[in-house]
Amino acid sequence: MLATNGRMKIAIQRNGRLTEDSVALLRACGLSFEFLKQSLYSPCRNFDLDVLAIRDDDIPEYVQDGVADLGIIGENILQERNARVHTLAPLGFGGCKLMISVPQRSSVRKVSDLKGKRIGTTYPVILKSFLKVNKVKAEIIELSGSVELAPSLNVADVICDIVSTGTTAKMNGLRTLCTVLESQAVLVANPTAMRDKKKRTLIDRLMIRVRGSQEARGKRYLMMNAPSDSVQKLKRVIPSLKSPTVVPLAQAGMVAIHTVVAEDVFWDVVEKLKQAGASDIIVVPIETIIR
């Protein structure tokens, strides 16, 4: 058991695929802390919260047991551990899929073909419920790592493992058969902390910030100048949050237009705006949007 100091704690992965995005999210929420991988606790200077850096596997149990009040963890680990925690929000990073892959030459073409096969995995709990839902009787071989090698070592016939691009599977002579779980990082809370008045106030404050930074994700703030008579034409090109802000410039006949545009369409929009008469187009990142 860890020593406690009465302050709230959020557990994040110490060193791995979720670490950078987790730290970035907390910083985007305005939390000021120095993140040192070698130290267990990083206290926030401006929020009554300590960041606890641990292995991702420990996060569900630590949050369930109240060692940490909050945690950021992949849904894959969360579901596998069956921890009793409260899920507050999906976070839009750490995306990956738990997939069943089979050797290239395997006769397995569909889920029902898995009947009687040995499936190697580090996710026996999730796999078991997937097989149950799909009414397939197969043998689950619980492994602790290097799952992709199991078919060539004849430890298993097929595997159920995390895939983000499929390259590792391909490199090991495997082809993907089906997706068992689509996962991303989520923010979770200890159920008792959710019922504690003081802690709940802090969680609610943090959640407003988390939602704000989620809203801002993938969006850009766009400012431009344009002749007043081109405003109607420009409005048709701008997919703004509500309606673009149009303010007169000191120069007669000219206006400034401000709006928010999604990252994935913003180059298309900028090109069209230019054609429609806009100039001096400025694009800036958005940190947060509070609704």
Say which entry of ligand ATP, Mg ion, none residue 183 contacts (CB below 5 to 8 A, set by partner kind).
ligand ATP
Of residues 20, 34, 57, 280, which one binds Mg ion by CB under 5 A? 57
Buried b (16+ CB within 10 A) or exposed e, 120-132: bbbbeebbeebbe
Stretch that binds Mg ion, among 51-59, 107-115, 130-138, 231-239 (CB under 5 A): 51-59
- Check residue 96 for interaction with ligand ATP (CB under 6 A): yes
Judge contact between 213 and 29, C-beta under 8 A.
Answer: yes
Report residue 25 as tokens: 């999210």
17 contacts ligand ATP (rule: CB under 6 A): yes
213 touches which of ligand ATP, Mg ion, none (CB within 5 to 8 A by kind)? none
Count CA atoms within 13 Å of residue 197 on its CB side. Answer: 0
> Quick one: which segment of 42-50, 69-77, 191-199, 267-275 binds ligand ATP (CB under 6 A)?
69-77
Which of Mg ion, ligand ATP, none has residue 200 at its interface (CB below 5 to 8 Å by kind)?
Answer: none
Question: CA of 50: how far to CAs of 4, 165, 211, in Å?
Answer: 10, 34, 20
Q: Which amino acid makes up residue 29?
A: C
Binding to ligand ATP by residue 80, rule CB under 6 A? no
Q: Mask: binding to ligand ATP, 239-258, rule CB under 6 A, as x and -?
A: --------------------
- From residue 84, give the alpha-carbon distance in Å to each of 61, 162, 201: 8, 23, 21
User: Residue written as tokens 């995005």?
Assistant: 21
- By CB under 6 A, name the binding residues for ligand ATP: 13, 16-18, 55-57, 74, 76-77, 94, 96, 162, 164, 183
